[in-house]
Each structure stands twice: as C-alpha cells, then as structure tokens.
Structure 1
C-alpha cells in the first residue's frame, strides 16, 4: 500500500470532484460488483458501476515507468507521457486537453516507477467521446522532432523546479544510494543528459514495445453500465497491438549491511534528512499488509510511536513523514524530517530506537487496534470518489492484480502483532539504513539561505500545474506539521 501521504498525492488532484462524486461504499467495491474482461487483443478492462452522480472516471494504466528504463534512456517513459498530449493524426496538439476541459472535465497523467497512468473525469454524456479521444492519443501519439524539442523544454523546466525542492532532492539522493543496480535508483523523470539523448525514433520504438494490449488496463468507474463500458473500451482500444512487452527482470538489489550516507549543501535554513530501511514488494503480499499496519503505528497520527519521540517537549523536528510505497519489487520505508542542524543526532537516535523497539517488542493490543482504525479510515476516505476507487483498482492492477484492492481492509484487519514484529525483524535493521541529508551551508559559507516549507512532491509526476498545486496542498496537510 502507499503511505497516506502518497495516497493523498496520487488522488488529491481528484478531490475537487468529491462532493458530487461520492461512491457511497468507501471501499473500491465488493468483488461481485467489479466486472473484469480481457479483450481479444489482451487489453484488460475493469468496470465498477457507481450511479451516485452523473460522472465517469476513465483511467488507463500502462505497465511502464522508470523500472523499465536504463541509464541511457532514463526519463523516456515520462517524455512519452507528455507526447500523448501533443495529439495524434486526428487530434491536434493540446486538443485532447481542450476537448475534455471544454465540457467541464478533467484530464491528467502521471509517470511513476512501475506504471504510467492517464485519467479523465467527465459527465456521463461525454464519457464515450472522451474514451475514444484518450485511446487515440495513447495508442497513436504524434511523435515528431519539433514536438519532442518543445516538450524537452517543458520537462527540463519541471526537472529544475523539482530539484529546487530540497525534500524532493533528498528523496532522489536516498533512492540512488539505496538502489545501486536496480532501476528504482534512477531519477523518475530522467536527467538533463539522458533527456538530451532521446530522439523521436527512440520514443516511437519504446511506444511500440510497451504500449501494447497485454500491457494495458482500462478502469472505468461511475455512471455507466458494465456491458456498455466494456463495449466502448473494446471499440476505442481495438487498434492496440496484441503482443507482449519485452521481458524485464531487473537485477536484485544487494541487502543493506550497514549505513550508507549521502549529503549535500543547499541554500536553505533547516536540514532535510531521510532515513530509509528495506521494505517488501508486492510479491510478498502478507508482508506488504503487515508493513502498512506497521507504518501506521510508527508514524501516522497523534498517538504514533514517532510522534512522541520527535514531537515531544521540546520538539526535535519541525515536521516529519513516514513513507512506504508498495511497488512491484522490494522498496523502502523512509522517515523524512525537517529539523534544525542541532538535533540531527538526536533525531537519528530516536528513529533508530523506534525501529529497534518495533523489532524487539510486539505492538500492544491498543496500538494495533489504533493502527488498524487509522489505516481503515485513510483507505475509506481515499475511496470515497469514483476516481479514487478507480485509482485503487488501477494501482494494484498495474503491479499485480486489482483484487488486492478489493480485499485490502479485510486482509490487513487480520494482521497480528506477531506478524508485524516478524516483518520488522525481516526487513529492518537499526544499524543498516540509508541516511540522506540536504543541509544549510555553514555560517559564512557563501550561499544565501532561503526560508521554505516545501512538501514532498508526488511520486507520480503531473503534467497539470493545477493538479500539482492541489497535490502540494494535500501533501502539506499530510506532512506532520506543528499542531
């Protein structure tokens, strides 16, 4: 599961629809309410009827992201996502966006490590037209040298803006230090050098390899009938090639055997520090469920273990967040803090002490029940909207199976304190971690410090400025600020 912060980031851009798009159940769906079909060309279709409002969420998840890249073509997934919005042979540049927003709809796309997601939210009367236009641009994007040059400028500006955020930079440093051989260590959006190496031919080849029927899932949730939605998806995606994507088997990452430390000086006033420990991938689902409950007990809410250690009297940090993103392959659980330089050692000691405690002592019945309740509330809130339900279904469908989303609450409710302790012992070592630090210059160091509080940006890169602003707002709320 994604941590609450990341879940908010993924779906915050959708919440302005919430008052009119309540799903009612608060969970993605009863398994019997989801219609699943595999089309003749391999496209997987998921439909959930939700007639609470005349809205339809359409999400297309492609199983490609930085996990499927190399250092040479790093960033190509994100560039290709942008090129989809340059139009197709039948739709001009930005016409997809204008067509959807022109009827009061919303369209966006994000690229992550394991997947690329395209989404639209429109009223029922326009969903067939929107589905057709979205499929056209996804399957047949116009990839020309001039368009690529224009988008390279846009993406370069995005990259510069992200690197100006010390929390983002700290996260990038942490990932690179943790994943030395696995592509999870690559920057999700590429680097200036790797972006310059990409040309139109490389993008067309990459698209032909990964934008194929068996590598796509189309999720439709809202005011539709299942039979009609499946038929419309079949028509819209009829030209998706029926061939498998290239097999990808990233090298296994070596275990952490001690601390790995990376640091950088930046013109800021407080330190950004992240401690990261090993975490499971979706291939071990029971461990994922236990890790989600563990994360909640460790750092979510006023009664969490780290809240008392880091935000006591006097507080050691200005703010902190605990983050664990379920991915296809094993990842990390990280604790990121904003803090004064003077408390760096004390904060490291407090975090490592909490990790040691959760390894050596099971949660109490009260701690376990509180963590379950908080996690259930978060997941229920996330899935209040049709778009939220579609996002949960699509997220797990992209890395494993949508069924994980349907049974999620029941399954984590079965997690025991002994299982959590066992998972902590299996993945955590208080003496084996990554420490990433972005810190202010020493006094007289020649860099002008700036005052800031920048929330951690979304794991998924948005192409919409407004979505980024909303996501940042909710990220700041999710970040453990002073109360």
Structure 2
C-alpha cells in the first residue's frame, strides 16, 4: 500500500439527517476503512451511569437490526475484513476495514449498530460480567490502577474524573433501561461522524453512506450539557496504593490545557513534552534514569483532549528513591523554564513529532483514526491539517515560555503503586 499523505484531500458532506461524512479517496489501495465516531464518552456520563459509554460499545456487537449475537463479526470477517471499537473520555469509535468493493456490507453493519442495537436484557446481564472481568484484570495491573487513581485524585471535579470502565457499583446499577436511554440520547446522526478512507470516489462514498444511514433520524438529547462542564484541579498531594508488585509505579501530574482554542500552544506543548520527557534522548531519561539511576523507566506526556487535562510524568523505580526522583523531576521542570532548549534538542523533538504524526497516516485505518479523532474533538479538520507545519515552526522561546506557564513552580498531584510491605 502506498503511503498516505497528510494533505490528501478531504471531502466533507452533511447529510439531510445531520450525519457528517468525511471521505478521503486513496486510489489504488484496494481497501477502505469505515470509521464511525460517536461524540460521547465517559466525560458525558453522570456518576449514576458511569461506564455506560463503554458498556454500549460492548453491546452493539450483541445484535443490531437483522443481525444476531456475533453475526456482525462473522459477516465482516467472512469478507476478509477486520473490525474493532474503542471508548475514551471523549468518544466511542467503531471501525471496519475491508476490500473497497465490500463497503456497502460494512456500512450496512455500522448503520444497524448505530440505530437499531438490540440491547436485550439477558445480553446486558451477561455482558456486564464480561466488563466486570475486564475491570478486575485492570485492577490487577499496577499501570491500570495508576492511571485511574491519577485522574480521580488530580481533579476535585471535572469530566475526566470518572473512570472509563465505570466501577462494580455503577455497573451493577446500569441495566437495559439505562443503556437504552443513554443510547437513544447520544447515538444520533447529529452526534456522529462517518470517516471513509480508501479506494473509492467521494461521490460514490457519500451515496453509499446516504443509502445506509439516510433514513436514520433521532433527536440529540445529551445527558449532560457540555457548555456547563467545569474542571477544578485538586490540591497537590501524594497518594500511595500497595499491591502485589515487584517495582513501584509512579506518576506526577500538573494541569494542562484543552485542545480546542489552543492549537499553537498545544503544538508547542508537544514539542516541550519531547524535549523534557519524550524518548531516550530527553532530559528526564538522560538525567533521572541514565545519570542519577533513580528510575528504571521514565516518560512524559499528555493527551489532546476536549477538556482541560494533565501533563504527566510516568516512571518505575525502587520505592526508597521515589521522593528523590520526584525532586529531580521538579528541578528539571524548573530548569526548562529557565533555559531554552538547545538547537539539537529542539530539532530532535520537532522531527520526532512530525515523523510520529506522518506514521499515523500511513494506512487507511491510521488516517481515519487520526483525522476522525481531531474532527470529533474540534468539529474541524484544521488542527490536523496544520499540525506538522505548526510543530516544525515552534521556537525555543515558545518552549521555554510554555515551561514557565505549565511546569515551573508547580506542586503536582502524585500517585504511586508500590509493593506491599513485608
């Protein structure tokens, strides 16, 4: 398959029922990815139905329209295709890739999942057990516990405080009526984007999308009014969990901005992230792991999120050196605010980011995932279209200024999962 360019033309059309269709033609690749983005995630849940977005992701494969349990999987795999789904704080995504000639089959499956999920009570009860097992596996994983604890402790309140999977308590209270209500409120054409990337003409792709989805009508009635959501960060503090583990897994985090309305700043923060803590040539890796031998692994990062989020440093270490490690990280944060990155460090960070973004666009699935994500979050393609040019234009002065704004003098929230004593 030839590489896919970030500047491949994007054709955008809104159907009469308000479903947005984005088409990126890739002549000659022979396949097409159909990627349905539902603009709902755990950030859109109330505490009473925490976990509903992810629960629905499971349930849509349990039958929809004329398809019974498992039949959609069998149909797509039977034509040589692949399919999967994902849920995050900000979205739920269903994606399928198959030979281009089979796009009508793929769209029929997605359309039925979007509008006619069975949500049978017996299937809801059985799938709840599957999700509880998934929750249990995550609780046995120190890294999974760490991330969930970080988001819970870092926010006094806000859309990212609730866990994506929910909890055993909330899952026990989500039954067929609650899922049906949540589904009918959020799975609406107005709240969806259909990405089609592959070997097809845009006009033909839109016609097939209209044929599959055109009769789908349902009013959008969100459970939460996003315009009224606010984020309040918690005060600095240290939170430790003891589990059966060989090493200590730790994170420290400081506030970071939302993506929307902060495009250049977000690109600058990406560059800052790579200078400070991205990869083996970064300052954190070289000083904390290689020079001071305080960590067995260390990395930094944050998400391009719809709401204010976190800039976090993740590490593994021996527990007795954790406090010293934390002090070292905060010293590096302060130094990043006092000193501009060297030309070599800046060049490395910009090139790594540009290459990583380019690699994400090399396949039809990668392109639909990257562009579909940013369109879902920002309701525009501008951020992705301009991302690489903006990253390559970020200056050393901008990186230093952002470190002054977001890193210097910050008292982070700290969480750690350490081995049980004794």
- Please report the TM-score for the alignment, with normalisation by the length of structure 2: 0.95
Structure 2 alignment gaps of length 5 or more: none
Aligned length: 418
Pairwise CA distance, 1:419: 1.9
Q: Is the contact between residue 262 and residue 437 of structure 1 (CA under 8 Å) also seen in structure 2?
A: yes
Residue 342 (str. 1) matches residue 317 (str. 2): no
Matched, 1:147 2:143: no
Q: Deviations over 1:364-416 (max 9, x none)?
A: 22221111011111111121111111111111011102221121101222222
SS at match of 1:274: strand
Superposition map of 1:124-203 within 5 A? 124-203=100-179
Q: Does structure 1 residue 411 correspond to structure 2 residue 390?
A: yes
1:298 to 276, 282, 286: 276
Most deviating of 291-300 and 107-116: 291-300
Alignment of 1:21-420 (within 5 A): 21-25=1-5, 27=6, 29-30=7-8, 33-241=9-217, 243-246=219-222, 247-249=225-227, 251-255=229-233, 259-283=236-260, 284-313=262-291, 315-400=293-378, 401-420=380-399
Give, in whole Å, the separation in 2 of the partners of 1:428 and 1:42. Answer: 42
Partner of 2:232: helix, strand, or coil?
coil
What are the Cα deviations for residues 317-336 of structure 1, in whole angstroms up to 9, with x where unaligned?
12122221111011001111
- Check conservation: 1:23, 1:384, Cα contact below 8 A: yes
- In the aligned structure 2, how far is the partner of 1:280 from the partner of 1:301? 22
Aligned to 2:402: 423
> Which of 65-74 and 354-363 deviates more?
354-363
Alignment of 1:438-477 (within 5 A): 438-442=417-421, 444=422
Q: CA deviation at 1:94?
A: 1.0
Counterpart-to-counterpart distance in 2, 1:279 and 1:135: 37
Structure with the bigger RCO (C-alpha within 8 Å, sep 6+) is: 1
How many angstroms does 1:310 deviate by?
Answer: 2.0
Q: Do the aligned partners of 1:106 and 1:122 also contact (CA within 8 Å) in 2?
A: yes
Deviation at 1:250, TM superposition (A): 5.1
SS, match of residue 172 in structure 2: helix
* TM norm structure 1: 0.84
Instruction: Give 1:190 deviation, angstroms.
Output: 0.3
Q: State the Cα distance separating 1:164 from its structure 2 match.
A: 0.9
Determine the C-alpha separation between the residues in 2 that align with 1:415 and 1:218: 32
Deviation at 1:201, TM superposition (A): 1.2
Aligned mates of 1:114, 1:323 — CA distance in 2: 18
1: CA distance, partners of 2:236 / 2:227: 27
What is the CA–CA distance in structure 2 between the aligned matches of 1:314 and 1:248, rounded to whole Å?
45
Q: Deviations over 1:156-181 (max 9, x none)?
A: 11111111110110111110011221
